[in-house]
């Protein structure tokens, strides 16, 4: 039990006789996806000892019920009833891919203790493109990857198709993920050369039966680097012709190629602004090259400029909002959940709701760059869900980010959601057993953004450990508060980006030496003798004006701002009175204390699970929780020591002083930190 089987362990049910399942389906031989669906069903059912008959049907198989006509190309209907002592089960879908998704859903239910005798589920994905973004470099390293090397073996591809690619595709299909961007957004042009296209094509062949399309990150300057052109100006006909020819070449090798992901004019990457062209002009030129083949462009809105005096949180909106309505219909603008960068907590990105005439897709980070990486247990379901359920109020109440992303708010058909993958060559895939849950939760929320993170945690725990209700409840009880616990010991009350220079892992609120002002923690905390926090109101950067008027009005005053976002929007005196009468300083310290005791609770809860969990996964998680406990203390103590060096305030009663003086924390160095570029 090293975690390699993820949530697809299919353990044998004890005490159930092994009875045969009769599966009826038409002509599986000519239908590779149907074959996969049947094989998966057998693999997952055999240990359950479920008795057939089991019917898989599409409209082609006759007697198609009209009530399923509305199922889309990926949806399914699952039903069962008891006839005597046998159970008749049916999965209906318009396509074989829908059947495969239906089978995986059935097995999810079967392995999480559902009553299989009375099923009635009709389900279709709410979002069309459900994509993993791999920040994998061609040299086998993974930017911000905490689970070992890249699983793509570029050296031995395209000839050697490692079985891990099939395992990967199967795991993705089991949660409905249908796309993979193979290479880092900080892209090398090499991935667009003929040898790499052949390698990507081999992966696409493996993924295809599992319903997964391949995409590539495209380096903007490739026409210069590979094509020998003098420019990458999107309005230069030779540049457009180069991309058209490149797209044609890719589609010859990968007929169902998904399209390009582009990071342009961001953190040193080239882009259309180098030629005084807009993001829309850049994206549309690429989109025109892909259009004849049905491909899309996912154009990232993660931009901020080096010498821009404007609040970093405002820059993407400033650049993109004026372009609303200018993007081609096969372009999606890919927006991170928050306006800075995947912090433990960020208010939702103000672009959501602000570009009704643009296909906006969500970008989450599944790999935990800023949330304790592989060792801290910080289940991201609540983070994803919080962002999706945020109400933009763009068209009145209920205009949630989820409804922007699923297209229902503004009537968009081309919709998407991306997660920066946390997958690597480690045996457990994700760097820890519990990080697997973030991959799982991303897939489930991409299928249905309104699922509750609790129910997803329950499903995952049941399949990953055991469907025994006591185990499921105990594991879920550890997972659900874990992200808030990390917010408490790292960046409570709306603080952000306080991570040290060593790979964004530990604390560094004092850091002020990095090359760009907006890379430094002091830029975000603005702490001094009098107070702390970033004023984004009318007296400060005015970022709140990027939200709809009702939200901006609420954020204008600290009293009407949620405590969890307080210091994101306001600079306040240390003596500011919180809603319960405590001072801001005392409350801040209370949060750090709560973070540390939160990890202690998690440790205790995990220890209690010892009899129920296999030794290998139990031990690994125990050790990681010990690391997390130590780090939580470090985060708390280092942060408090720094704030106290500024405000000279005493700690509230009952709160222990930091173990060391500030100099000790500042002097900490780490010879190696994973994940840096």
- Could you list the residues that contact ligand BDP (CB under 6 A)? 143-144, 185-186, 263, 267, 302, 341-342, 369, 677
Please identify, using beta-carbon distances, which residue of 438 and 587 lies nearer to ligand BDP.
438
How distant is the alpha carbon of residue 226 from its chain centre? 32
Element (H, E) at 54: strand 54-57
- Of 190, 249, 267, 600, which is the active-site residue? 267
Alpha-carbon gap, residue 324 to 363, rounded angstroms = 18
* CA distance readout (Å), 194 to 5, 318, 358: 34, 38, 33
C-alpha–C-alpha distance, residues 533 and 492, integer Å: 11
Q: What gap in Å lies between CA 534 and CA 522, rounded to an integer? A: 10
- Tell me if residue 15 falls in helix, strand or coil: coil
Q: Which is nearer to ligand BDP, 218 or 589 (CB)?
A: 218
Catalytic residue among 96, 136, 233, 341: 341
Which of 96, 369, 535, 587 does the annotation list as catalytic? Answer: 369
Q: Name the helix (H) or strand (E) containing 90.
A: strand 86-92
What's the closest the beta carbon of residue 327 comes to ligand BDP, in angstroms?
20
Count of alpha carbons within 13 angstroms of residue 95, beta-carbon side:
13
Question: Between 40 and 311, whose beta carbon lies closer to ligand BDP?
Answer: 311
Pairing status of strand 416-420 against strand 359-365: parallel
Backbone φ, ψ for residue 333 (5° rounding) = -90, 120
Rounded to a whole number of angstroms, the minimum distance from the CB of residue 449 to ligand BDP is: 21
Q: In the complex with ligand BDP, which residue's Cβ is closer, 176 or 675?
A: 675
Smallest distance, ligand BDP to C-beta of residue 305, A: 14
Decide whether 214 or 301 has the Cβ nearer to ligand BDP.
301
CB 79 to ligand BDP: min, Å: 43
User: Can you say how many angstroms the Cα of residue 498 is from the centroid of all Cα atoms in its chain?
Assistant: 21
630 is written with which tokens? 């130590």
Beta carbons within 8 Å of 274's beta carbon, 6+ residues apart: 232, 265
Tell me, yes or no, if 518 is annotated catalytic: no
Residue of 180, 145, 674, 206 lying closest to 419 (CA atoms): 180
Q: How far is the CB of 537 from ligand BDP (least distance, A)?
A: 26
Q: How many residues does the chain have?
A: 677
For 531, residues 6+ apart whose C-beta sits below 8 A from its C-beta are 571, 572, 573, 574, 576, 584
Which residue number, 143 or 406, has a Cβ lying nearer to ligand BDP? 143
Determine the Cα–Cα distance for residues 272 and 282; give it in Å rounded to an integer.
Answer: 5
CB of 113 to ligand BDP, least distance (A): 38
Q: Are the beta carbons of 391 and 398 closer than 8 angstroms? A: yes
In whole angstroms, how close is the CB of 505 to ligand BDP at the nearest point? 12
Per-position DSSP letters for 313-325, written without gaps between them: HHHHHHHHGGGTT
User: Nearest residue by C-beta to ligand BDP?
Assistant: 341
CB of 186 to ligand BDP, least distance (A): 5
Nearer to ligand BDP, 72 or 677 (CB): 677
CB nearer ligand BDP, residue 268 or residue 549:
268
Three-state secondary-structure class, residue 428: coil
The angle subtended at Cα 438 by Cα 152 and Cα 203, nearest 5°, is 20
Using only C-alpha atoms, the chain has a radius of gyration, in whole angstroms, of 25
Smaller CB separation from ligand BDP, 247 or 423: 423
Question: 341 an active-site residue?
Answer: yes
Least spacing, CB of residue 484 vs ligand BDP, in Å: 21
Whether omega before 158 lies within 30 degrees of 0, making that bond cis, reads yes
On whether the CB atoms of residues 157 and 166 are closer than 8 A, the answer is no
186 versus 622: smaller Cβ distance to ligand BDP? 186
Neighbours of 278 (CB within 10 A): 17
Spatial neighbors of 325 by CB under 8 A, at least 6 apart, are 357, 358
Is residue 587 annotated as part of the catalytic site, yes or no? no
What are the CA-CA distances from residue 376 to residues 57, 83, 490, 543 (Å)?
A: 44, 48, 12, 32
To ligand BDP, the closest distance from the beta carbon of 528 in angstroms equals 27
Catalytic residue IDs: 267, 341, 369
């Amino acid at each position: 039990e090293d975690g390699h089987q993820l949530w697809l362990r299919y353990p044998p049910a004890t005490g159930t006789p092994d009875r045969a399942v009769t599966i009826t389906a038409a002509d599986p031989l000519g239908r590779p996806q149907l074959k996969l669906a049947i094989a998966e069903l057998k693999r997952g059912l055999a240990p359950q000892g479920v008795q057939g008959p089991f019917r898989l049907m599409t409209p082609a198989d006759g007697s198609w019920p009209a009530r399923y006509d509305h199922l889309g190309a990926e949806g399914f209907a699952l039903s069962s009833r008891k006839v005597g002592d046998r159970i008749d089960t049916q999965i209906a879908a318009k396509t074989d891919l829908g059947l495969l998704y239906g089978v995986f859903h059935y097995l999810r239910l079967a392995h999480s203790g559902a009553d299989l005798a009375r099923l009635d589920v009709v389900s279709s994905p709410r979002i069309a493109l459900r994509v993993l973004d791999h920040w994998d470099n061609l040299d086998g390293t993974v930017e911000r990857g905490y689970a070992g090397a890249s699983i793509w073996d570029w050296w031995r591809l395209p000839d050697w198709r490692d079985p891990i690619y099939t395992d990967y595709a199967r795991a993705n299909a089991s949660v409905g993920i249908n796309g993979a961007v193979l290479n880092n957004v900080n892209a090398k042009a090499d991935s667009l050369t003929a040898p790499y296209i052949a390698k990507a094509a081999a992966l696409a062949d493996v993924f295809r039966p599992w319903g997964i399309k391949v995409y590539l990150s495209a380096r903007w300057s490739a026409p210069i680097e590979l094509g020998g052109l003098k420019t990458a100006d999107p309005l230069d006909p030779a540049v457009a012709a180069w991309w058209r020819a490149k797209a044609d070449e890719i589609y010859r090798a990968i007929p169902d190629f998904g399209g390009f992901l582009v990071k342009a004019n961001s953190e040193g990457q080239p882009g259309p602004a180098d030629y005084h062209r807009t993001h829309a002009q850049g994206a549309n030129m690429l989109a025109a090259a892909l259009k004849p083949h049905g491909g899309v462009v996912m154009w990232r809105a993660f931009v901020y400029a080096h010498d821009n005096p404007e609040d970093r949180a405002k820059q993407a909106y400033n650049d993109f909002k004026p372009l609303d309505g200018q993007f081609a219909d096969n372009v999606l603008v890919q927006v991170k959940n928050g306006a800075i960068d995947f912090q433990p907590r960020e208010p939702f990105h103000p672009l959501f709701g602000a570009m009704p005439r643009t296909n906006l897709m969500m970008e989450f980070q599944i790999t935990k760059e800023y949330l304790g990486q592989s060792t801290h247990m910080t289940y991201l379901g609540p983070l994803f869900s919080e962002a999706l359920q945020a109400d933009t109020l763009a068209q009145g109440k209920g205009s949630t980010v989820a409804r922007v992303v699923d297209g229902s708010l503004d009537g968009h058909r081309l919709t998407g959601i991306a997660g920066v993958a946390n997958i690597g060559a480690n045996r457990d895939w994700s760097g820890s057993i519990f990080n697997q849950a973030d991959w799982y939760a991303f897939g489930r929320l991409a299928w249905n953004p309104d699922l509750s993170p609790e129910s997803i945690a329950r499903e995952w725990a049941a399949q990953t450990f055991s469907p025994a209700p006591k185990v499921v409840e105990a594991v879920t009880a550890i997972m659900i508060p874990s992200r808030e616990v990390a917010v408490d010991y790292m960046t409570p009350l709306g603080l952000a980006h306080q991570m040290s220079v060593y790979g964004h892992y530990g604390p560094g609120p004092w850091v002020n030496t990095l090359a760009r002002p907006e890379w430094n923690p002091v830029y975000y905390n603005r702490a001094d003798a009098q107070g702390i926090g970033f004023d984004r109101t009318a007296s400060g950067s005015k970022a709140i004006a990027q939200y709809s008027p009702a939200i901006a009005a609420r954020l204008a005053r600290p009293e009407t701002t949620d405590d969890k976002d307080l210091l994101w929007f306001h600079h306040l005196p240390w003596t500011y009175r919180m809603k319960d009468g405590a001072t801001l300083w005392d409350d801040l310290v209370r949060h750090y204390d709560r973070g540390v005791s939160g990890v202690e609770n998690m440790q205790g809860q995990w220890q209690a699970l010892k009899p129920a969990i296999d030794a290998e996964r139990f031990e690994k998680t125990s050790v990681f929780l010990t690391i997390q406990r130590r780090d939580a203390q470090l985060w708390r103590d280092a942060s408090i020591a720094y704030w106290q060096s500024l405000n000279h305030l005493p700690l509230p009663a009952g709160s222990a002083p930091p173990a060391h003086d500030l100099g000790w924390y500042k002097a900490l160095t780490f010879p190696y930190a994973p994940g840096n570029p």
